[in-house]
């Protein structure tokens, strides 16, 4: 495969698409095309066997609609460029127009073009990063260039047998990001997957690995708040992050897949002494999302934070939350979850706080607030606490609210229409999360929610 | 001018106001007084268009309400009783609420800026500041000046709308919104309840000043005479059991202060 400058894959003339469905030959073909080392192929094959043996989760959202035999597990980038703009659903096009997304980006987001033309911006940024000793590249490239580093960490935090979808990802993964930030290097601007979005990165089974060395800091932003049209019905990513002593990592995701997609993602971070991990997670799109970013606090005073916002509209079930596992003394964690359900949508919070014996003085706070916009929509909370140490503090707050008639009247009496008033209340509700997002994302998130309420999206 | 003609207001089928005739002229201060349960606040909500308050006309049953001559409330000659609350606001009506709502996460500057922009699209916007040339930075300065004139704790401006505000702070926030909004007609619904003497004085004087300067018609709904000391009424109207039982001048309010509603 011809390599593009800065790790992009150049579309090629010879098109390849693995056959529909999954068997050992498909796994071998993927590994072979990528010219992977032996150990990765063995890893994939073992994971494939795990995937076959493991059961579907018996909890969470309804996944009975997934037809594993009817999915393409590997499609080369160039294949995706063959689509015509006319094939992109009209509602998604309308949303692009209303968000004012430039033509070039529209075509990329709609899946028409595999390459977003940001090479120049991206190039100068990449030089800045590499001057600092930062490695920021695609997972495939990392495996080729930094095999030792990848082998040392890959699959050690989320083993292939963690869950059926982690096994599936390990067997057929393709694309994703690799990031290494050296000791004490603090990256002053977010590393954005947005700059390097291409079909490999936005793939169905992307695999991301990040190592933040001692005292370093990085903010990584992935995804896109504009709706991303995908023809494939399953997206199952795995993200592993290692936060070393005194390091800090913030990982921001905005997910807005088209509403035919099952989005089943496993994300976990291991945090050492005095380290900080922050997951900021926005779920707007997909048919079903099951995603519970986790922090494993292994060192003293390690801190984990999970801020999430989910919007469930027509035909959607957002089953999201977080897990905090306290394994060391004085560790702290906080989960803030905000969900909005409307138009028969369903939003669930599912979370777990675990405090192991010896995690003395561990503290955790969970706040989950749900806003239900109409009688036909639904919200549930499934918190689990496993506390095996007596000297700990755990707080849990949960609220379920509706938009009050009085609040609407109050804002309308200031000259705002009922839609504007509702949007102001909703945007206020998610503001504690939105203010943590990079600005362009927060602006777009607010506008998207307004659009969705008007019924022009989804 | 606000004109109210033979207005009947029902809440959940129960008649609260029964045949109200009232006018408020530009620049005029009209006080509505009455004991608890007389329907004072209902008048405020009905004027502003709260959906729970069902307006009809004494003479005409609800089914005939849409007919052109069956108007119930007019503002400067245009019928508004068939309009939604936002349309009434855009026509120049501002309600300062007795119980202002909190909107968590809605920043005050952002909210006031949106209010300002909304209002400035309307041709008779009466602000002293020219909306065409005001930048966001200048607007913030302007808001700070207005807040200072109300002796409002400036730290509050960095918060969400009314979120965690005391009763008195909420009332000052209502007046701050009113000053930004620059209405043609202002309804103060028991703005004096729960206020200490100093806050009451500041609010009442501020309203009196702006009403005079900009020729705003003010409807002051109150239980007590004390607000009228700083915001002198041109007309005092006494409500009881949903009906206007007496109309008079300033003296009427003083009389009530002395002898109570029972003897009127």
> What tens digit of pLDDT does each residue of A193-211 get?
644 333 433 458 889 999 9
- If you write DSSP's letter for every residue of B16-73 in order, what string do you get? EEEEEEEEE-TT-EEEEE--TTSSHHHHHHHHHT-TTEEEEESSS-GGGTTSTT--SE
Distance separating alpha carbons of residues B29 and A375, to the nearest angstrom = 44
Distance separating alpha carbons of residues A93 and A89, to the nearest angstrom = 7
Residues A340 and A347: beta-carbon distance below 8 Å: yes
**Confidence (pLDDT) at A84:** 63
Distance separating alpha carbons of residues A451 and A430, to the nearest angstrom = 16
Q: Residues in chain A whose beta carbon is closer than 8 A to a beta carbon of chain B?
A: 404-407, 409-418, 420-421, 424-425, 427-432
Q: How many helices (H) and strands (E) does chain B have?
A: 7, 13
Task: Give domain status of residue A183, yes or no.
Answer: yes
Distance separating alpha carbons of residues A36 and A30, to the nearest angstrom = 9
Q: Could you state, in order of their start, the residue ranges of all structural domains in chain B?
A: 2-263
Average pLDDT over residues B7-27: 93
CB atoms under 10 Å from CB of B166, counted, come to: 12
| Chain B CB contacts of A424 below 8 Å | 103, 106, 111, 114
Check A412 against B111: CB less than 8 A apart. Answer: no
Range with the lowest mean pLDDT among B63-77, B138-152, B207-221?
A: B63-77
Tokens found for residue A227 = 């709706």
pLDDT above 90 (res A412) = yes
Average pLDDT over residues B59-63: 56
| Chain A CB contacts of B188 below 8 Å | none
Torsions phi, psi of A345, nearest 5? Answer: -75, 160
Tokens found for residue B220 = 């002051």
Average pLDDT over residues B160-172: 94
Q: Considering CB atoms only, which of A414, A416, A418 is closest to B177?
A: A414
**Confidence (pLDDT) at A5:** 32
Round to the nearest angstrom and report the end-to-end CA distance of chain B. 28
CB atoms under 10 Å from CB of A86, counted, come to: 8
Average pLDDT over residues A40-44: 97
Q: How many domains does chain A have?
A: 1
Distance from CA of A136 to the nearest CA of B (A): 36
CB atoms under 10 Å from CB of A444, counted, come to: 19
Q: Which of B49, B80, B105 to mutate to test the interface with A (most CBs of A within 10 A)?
A: B105
| Chain B CB contacts of A430 below 8 Å | 105
Range with the lowest mean pLDDT among A118-127, A285-294, A323-332?
A: A118-127
Distance separating alpha carbons of residues B80 and B225, to the nearest angstrom = 30
Nearest to B220 by CA among B188, B260, B263, B257: B188
Distance separating alpha carbons of residues B113 and B212, to the nearest angstrom = 25
Q: Considering CB atoms only, which of B95, B111, B161 is closest to A413?
A: B95
**Confidence (pLDDT) at A113:** 44
Angle at A89 between CA A84 and CA A93, to 5 degrees: 90
Secondary structure class of A371 (helix, strand, coil): strand
Distance separating alpha carbons of residues A151 and A173, to the nearest angstrom = 15
The pLDDT confidence band at residue A102, using thresholds 50, 70 and 90, is: low
Distance separating alpha carbons of residues B39 and B9, to the nearest angstrom = 9
**Confidence (pLDDT) at A428:** 92
Q: Where are the alpha helices (DSSP H) in A374-417?
A: 405-412
Residues B191 and B171: beta-carbon distance below 8 Å: yes
Q: Is the dihedral of CA B208, B211, B215, B216 positive or negative?
A: negative
**Confidence (pLDDT) at A88:** 66
Residues B48 and B88: beta-carbon distance below 8 Å: yes
Nearest to A308 by CA among A365, A352, A367: A367
Q: Residues in chain B whose beta carbon is closer than 8 A to a beta carbon of chain A?
A: 48-52, 84-86, 88-90, 94-95, 97, 100-101, 103-107, 111, 114-115, 118-119, 160-161, 177, 181
CB atoms under 10 Å from CB of A188, counted, come to: 9
**Confidence (pLDDT) at A246:** 98
Q: Check residue B245 and report its DSSP letter.
A: E
Distance separating alpha carbons of residues B172 and B196, to the nearest angstrom = 12
Task: Give domain status of residue A173, yes or no.
Answer: yes
Tokens found for residue B198 = 């100093």
Distance separating alpha carbons of residues A253 and A238, to the nearest angstrom = 13
Average pLDDT over residues A77-89: 53
CA dihedral B118, B120, B124, B130 (to 10 degrees): 170
**Confidence (pLDDT) at A391:** 93
Q: How far is CA B208 from CA A158, B19, B211, in A?
A: 69, 29, 5
Tell me the residue range of the domain where A253 lies.
5-453
Distance separating alpha carbons of residues B125 and B139, to the nearest angstrom = 16
Residues 6+ apart with CB under 8 A from A162: A266
Strands B29-33 and B235-240, bridge-based pairing: parallel
Q: Which of B103, B114, B162, B181 to mutate to test the interface with A (most CBs of A within 10 A)?
A: B103
Distance separating alpha carbons of residues B45 and A438, to the nearest angstrom = 41
Average pLDDT over residues A272-293: 94
Distance from CA of A447 to the nearest CA of B (A): 15
Check A427 against B105: CB less than 8 A apart. Answer: yes
Distance from CA of A101 to the nearest CA of B (A): 24
Q: Please name the residue that has the structure tokens 């709308």.
A: B161
Q: Considering CB atoms only, which of B86, B105, B111 is closest to A412?
A: B86
The pLDDT confidence band at residue A78, using thresholds 50, 70 and 90, is: very low
Distance separating alpha carbons of residues A243 and A210, to the nearest angstrom = 8
Distance separating alpha carbons of residues A85 and A107, to the nearest angstrom = 7
Average pLDDT over residues A222-251: 84
Residue B194, classified by CB atoms within 10 Å of its CB into exposed (0-12), middle (13-18) or buried (19+), is middle
pLDDT above 90 (res B59) = no
Residue B196, classified by CB atoms within 10 Å of its CB into exposed (0-12), middle (13-18) or buried (19+), is exposed
Distance separating alpha carbons of residues A452 and A315, to the nearest angstrom = 13
| Chain B CB contacts of A429 below 8 Å | 104-105
Distance separating alpha carbons of residues B238 and A180, to the nearest angstrom = 77
Q: Considering CB atoms only, which of B85, B103, B181 is closest to A412?
A: B85
Distance from CA of B240 to the nearest CA of A (A): 26
Tokens found for residue B252 = 């009427």
CATH class of B2-263: alpha beta
Q: For all residues of chain A together, what is the average pLDDT?
A: 84
Higher local confidence (pLDDT), A100 or A339: A339
Tokens found for residue A413 = 């009496």
Interhelix angle for A24-33 vs A38-53, to 10°?
Answer: 150
Average pLDDT over residues A17-42: 89
Distance separating alpha carbons of residues B42 and B10, to the nearest angstrom = 9
Closest chain A residue by Cα to residue B98:
A410
Q: How far is CA A78 from CA A104, A375, B133, in A?
A: 17, 46, 52
Stated pTM of the model:
0.81
pLDDT above 50 (res B186) = yes
The pLDDT confidence band at residue B87, using thresholds 50, 70 and 90, is: very high
Residues A284 and A254: beta-carbon distance below 8 Å: yes
Task: Give domain status of residue A458, yes or no.
Answer: no
pLDDT above 70 (res A10) = no
**Confidence (pLDDT) at A362:** 98
pLDDT above 80 (res A27) = yes
pLDDT above 60 (res A285) = yes
Q: Please name the residue that has the structure tokens 């004991």.
A: B35
Strands A234-235 and A248-255, bridge-based pairing: unpaired
Closest chain A residue by Cα to residue B159:
A428
Q: How many helices (H) and strands (E) does chain A have?
A: 12, 19
Q: Considering CB atoms only, which of B85, B105, B118 is closest to A413?
A: B85
**Confidence (pLDDT) at A106:** 62
Task: Identify the bridge partners of residue A369 per DSSP, sorted by sequence position.
Answer: A338, A399
Check A411 against B50: CB less than 8 A apart. Answer: no
Tokens found for residue A124 = 């100068």
**Confidence (pLDDT) at A458:** 33
Strands A135-138 and A177-181, bridge-based pairing: antiparallel
For chain B, give the longest Cα–Cα distance.
Answer: 55
The pLDDT confidence band at residue B225, using thresholds 50, 70 and 90, is: confident
Q: How far is CA B209 from CA A190, A265, A278, B130, B205, in A?
A: 51, 61, 52, 20, 6
Nearest to B96 by CA among B208, B175, B192: B175
Secondary structure class of A281 (helix, strand, coil): strand
In our burial notation (b when 16+ CB lie closer than 10 A, e otherwise), range A33-62 reads ebebeeebbebbebbbebbeebeeeeebbe
Q: What are the pLDDT digits (tens) for A425-456?
A: 998 999 888 888 877 677 777 777 777 776 53
User: Counting one residue from A and one from B, how many pairs have CB atoms under 8 Å apart?
Assistant: 76
Range with the lowest mean pLDDT among A23-32, A219-228, A361-370, B243-252?
A: A219-228
Alpha-carbon Rg for chain B in angstroms: 18
Distance separating alpha carbons of residues B121 and A43, to the nearest angstrom = 65
């Amino acid at each position: 495969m011809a390599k593009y400058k800065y790790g992009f894959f150049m579309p090629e003339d010879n098109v390849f698409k693995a056959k529909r469905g999954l068997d050992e030959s498909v796994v071998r073909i993927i590994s072979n095309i990528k010219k992977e080392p032996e150990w990765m192929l063995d890893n994939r094959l073992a994971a494939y066997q795990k995937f076959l043996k493991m059961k579907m989760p018996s909890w969470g959202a309804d996944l009975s609609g997934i037809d594993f035999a009817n999915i393409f597990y590997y499609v080369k980038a160039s294949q995706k460029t063959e689509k015509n703009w006319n094939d992109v659903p009209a509602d998604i096009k309308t949303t692009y127009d209303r968000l004012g997304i430039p033509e070039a980006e529209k075509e990329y987001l709609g899946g028409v073009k595999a390459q977003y033309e940001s090479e120049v911006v991206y190039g100068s940024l990449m030089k800045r990063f590499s001057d600092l000793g930062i490695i920021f590249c695609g997972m495939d490239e990392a495996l080729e260039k930094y095999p030792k580093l990848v082998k040392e960490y890959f699959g050690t935090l989320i083993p292939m047998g963690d869950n059926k979808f982690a096994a599936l990802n390990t067997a057929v993964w393709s694309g994703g990001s690799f990031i290494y930030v050296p000791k004490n290097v603090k990256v002053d601007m977010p590393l954005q997957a947005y700059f390097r979005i291409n079909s490999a990165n936005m793939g169905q089974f992307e695999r991301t690995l990040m190592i933040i060395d001692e005292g370093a800091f990085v903010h990584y932003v992935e995804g896109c708040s504009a709706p991303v049209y995908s023809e494939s019905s399953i997206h199952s990513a795995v993200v592993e992050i290692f936060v070393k002593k005194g390091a800090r990592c913030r990982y921001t995701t905005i997910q807005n897949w088209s509403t035919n997609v099952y989005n089943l993602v496993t994300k976990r971070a291991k945090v050492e002494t005095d380290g900080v991990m922050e997951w900021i997670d926005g779920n707007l799109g997909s048919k079903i999302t099951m995603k519970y970013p986790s922090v494993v606090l292994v060192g003293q005073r390690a801190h984990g934070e999970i801020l999430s916002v989910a919007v469930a509209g027509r035909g959607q079930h957002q089953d999201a939350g977080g897990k905090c596992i306290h394994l060391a003394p004085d560790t702290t964690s906080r989960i803030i979850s905000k969900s909005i359900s409307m138009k028969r949508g369903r939003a669930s919070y599912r979370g777990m706080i675990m405090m192991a014996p010896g995690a003395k003085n561990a503290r955790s706070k969970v706040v989950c607030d749900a806003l239900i916009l109409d009688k036909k929509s639904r919200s549930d909370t499934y918190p689990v606490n496993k506390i095996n140490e007596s000297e700990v503090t755990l707080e849990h707050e949960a609220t379920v609210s509706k938009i009050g008639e009085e609040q609407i009247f109050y804002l309308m009496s200031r000259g705002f229409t009922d839609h504007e008033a509702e949007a102001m209340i909703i945007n206020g509700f998610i503001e504690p999360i939105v203010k943590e997002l990079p600005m362009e994302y927060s602006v777009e998130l607010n506008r998207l929610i307004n659009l969705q309420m008007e019924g022009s999206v989804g | 001018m606000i004109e109210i003609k033979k207005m009947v207001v029902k809440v959940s089928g129960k008649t609260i106001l029964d045949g109200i005739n009232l006018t408020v002229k530009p620049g005029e201060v009209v006080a509505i007084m009455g004991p608890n349960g007389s329907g004072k606040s209902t008048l405020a909500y009905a004027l502003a268009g709260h959906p729970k308050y069902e307006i009809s006309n004494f003479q005409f049953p609800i089914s005939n309400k849409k007919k052109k001559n069956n108007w119930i409330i007019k503002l400067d000659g245009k019928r508004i009783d068939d309009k939604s609350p936002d349309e009434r606001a855009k026509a120049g009506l501002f309600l300062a609420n007795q119980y202002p709502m909190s909107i968590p996460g809605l920043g005050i500057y952002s909210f006031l800026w949106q209010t300002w922009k909304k209002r400035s699209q309307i041709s008779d916007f009466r602000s002293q500041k020219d909306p065409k040339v005001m930048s966001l930075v200048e607007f913030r300065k302007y808001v700070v000046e207005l807040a200072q004139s109300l002796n409002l704790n400036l730290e509050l401006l960095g918060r969400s709308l009314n979120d965690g505000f005391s009763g008195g702070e909420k009332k000052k926030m209502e007046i701050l919104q009113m000053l930004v909004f620059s209405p043609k007609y202002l309804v103060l619904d028991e703005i004096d309840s729960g206020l200490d003497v100093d806050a009451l004085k500041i609010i009442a004087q501020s309203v009196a000043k702006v009403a005079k300067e900009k020729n705003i018609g003010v409807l002051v709904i109150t239980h007590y005479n004390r607000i009228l000391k700083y915001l002198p009424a041109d007309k005092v109207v006494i409500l009881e059991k949903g009906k206007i039982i007496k109309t008079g001048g300033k003296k009427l309010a003083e009389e009530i202060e002395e002898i109570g509603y029972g003897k009127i």
